[in-house]
Amino acid sequence: MMHKIKNFMDNQSGSTLILFSFLLVGLLGMIGLVMDGGTLFVSKTHLQKTANAAVLSGGQALFSEEQTVNDIVTKILNAHNENTSLNALTIEMGNKITVNLRKEVPLSFLPLFGFSKVPVEATATSLVVPMGSGRGVAPLGIDEGIPLVFYQSYKLKVDQTEVSAGNFGILALEGPGAKTYEDNLRSGYSGEIQIGDIIETQTGNIAGKTRTVIDERINACSYPGDIDHSDCSRILLVPIYQPYNYTSNQLKEVKITGFAYFYILEPMHINDTSITGMFIKRVGTGFGDENSINGGAYTIRLTK
């Protein structure tokens, strides 16, 4: 009897050892899966953030030169240590940019089970959208009925020939007054303007203050002729509007329907009542809205 019991215990010990071995292998596999899964998650997240940053930054130059877009994307990839991960770059100037990143991520534990590397991939696309709201807006309104001819000399008038009944195309963004207008023209309106906003107009002759500020803006720009430089003070963000409220044949209020960028070409002479410049296509800071009139002012939207 004792011999049988001893044989039974020996058999059970062997089975337990085999079962424990299987459990240990499974446990190690689970630990490896968790740790390597974490590594893959971190790598995937970093790759996606890098792709997002590349298309958002590169999208800012979609109205410049294609090589400029390429250079920006390369700079972003280098800054995130993913310069070797670029798998595909698709650029549609004036429309969108897509970046696909791919790399092999080395694993720590799963090589024990035959998995040494796993491919990780991320794709991002940014699209230009007409600007629907913005800050730093100049207090100069453009009637939506005036055709905008891009990259050609244009006279942005600030006298009574701009619109009817004494309104000089000036918007009272922070209330009436020549001083307020001058400050807004110099520095841009600090608040946000968006399509659908109803803005009061300002009457009166402000050509003198306009000449002063325009000269200041021209002199302050260190990049004359570079219409793509983000820091050039020659560039004005101008609201596009439709007439909204007439009182006693005077246009008292306008409704914002879009935005445009206006590049100042030359100083105003002593008798000038208009600003000489050209409308340009440009990506700026703000929020996009497909319902906005396309006046050449755009924002970038991440689509995937």
Query: Residue 266: what pLDDT?
Result: 92
Radius of gyration of the chain from Cα atoms?
Answer: 31
Query: Residue 113: what pLDDT?
Result: 54
Query: Residue 245: what pLDDT?
Result: 87
Nearest alpha carbon to residue 242 among 144, 173, 137: 144
- State both tokens at 150: 């891009």
Secondary structure class of 159 (helix, strand, coil): coil
Q: Which residues of the chain have pLDDT under 50?
A: 4-6, 8-9, 20, 160-168
Query: Residue 166: what pLDDT?
Result: 36
Residue 242, phi-psi category: left (phi > 0), alpha (psi -120 to 50), beta (remainder): beta
What does the alpha-carbon distance between residue 267 and residue 174 come to, in Å, rounded to a whole number? 26
Q: Give the residue extent of every domain in the chain.
A: 17-127, 131-303
Q: Cα 136–139–140 angle (5° rounding)?
A: 120
Predicted confidence (pLDDT) per residue in 32-67, tens digit: 555 656 677 888 989 999 999 999 999 999 999 999
* pTM of the predicted model as reported, rounded to 2 decimal places: 0.81
Scan for tokens 């793509």, then name that residue.
228
Scan for tokens 């983000």, then name that residue.
230
Query: Residue 1: what pLDDT?
Result: 54
Task: Report long-range pairs for 220-228 (Cβ below 8 Å, ≥24 apart).
Answer: 227/263, 227/280, 227/282, 228/61, 228/63, 228/64, 228/68, 228/282
Query: Residue 38: what pLDDT?
Result: 67
